[in-house]
Amino acid sequence: MCQLLGMNANTPTDVTFSFTGFAQRAGRTADHTDGWGVAFFEGSGVRHFVDHQRAIDSPVAELIRRYPIKSRNVIAHIRKATQGAVSLENCHPFVRELWGSYWVFAHNGDLKDFRPRLHAHFRPVGSTDSEHAFCWIMQELWKSHAGVPSVEELTLTLRELAARIAPYGTFNFLLSNGRALWAHASTHLHSIERRHPFAVARLADEDLQVDFSAVTTPQDRVAVIATAPLTSNEQWTAFAPGELRVFVDGCRAA
């Protein structure tokens, strides 16, 4: 199975610390070595990086570890292939446009025989079950809402769509449109919300710690979602099977 990392914040924040520990799972502390990717929302745009090399020694991943790109919504993924070749077009996260906004999606799991009919606007480029599921979600969102819905309306629709896909296999995913970040768990997913008073956090996969009180303001709020907890000295909350959570401005909204 793959590994997921998401971040949602109320102010542009870098994900360097979390990504440094996360990347260790691509060959050092775990064997997720079939490619990786990360997407950062910035205003109406998205910085999107993918590489079919291991994140642990990818030059592009090294750039992400050293270049503190600030964003309010970030989705990252390291791949252990179950469907589709190890190739660039099969690397998550995937990006599509809907209602004049970019949407970013990453999936951890394996969906068996989920190949519903897709309309012309949303088509997969690669051969993964994940990208097919993403295209179907985009299609069904477009069909379900005449205009741009609220976060609350989107959450209700996504709960229904996730429940229709989940019977086909393991369906842990992260999805964002830059306004909110949705996270759904079939099996393993955890989250943490950091806010004032901030403290020291220590990575579980790397000998590194950071004192967040030295690099934040009392108004900052940051939510981090990961397949497995990234730090060893903080309290992460596990998702229940079938649970979908939405994060807005650095805290859980539902």
3-state secondary structure the chain: CCEEEEEEEEEEEECHHHHHHHHCCECCCCECCCCEEEEEEECCEEEEEEECCCCCCCHHHHHHHHCCCEEEEEEEEECCCCCCCCCHHHCCCEEEEECCEEEEEEEECCECCCCCCCCCCCCCCCCCHHHHHHHHHHHHHHHHCCCCCCHHHHHHHHHHHHHHHHHHECCEEEEECCCCEEEECCCCCEEEEEECCCCEEEECCCCCEEEHHHCCCCCCEEEEEECCCCECCCCCEECCCCCEEEEECCEECC
Asked if 6 and 74 touch (Cβ cutoff 8 Å), the reply is yes
- 2, 91, 135, 251: the catalytic one is 2
2 is catalytic: yes
Active-site residue set: 2
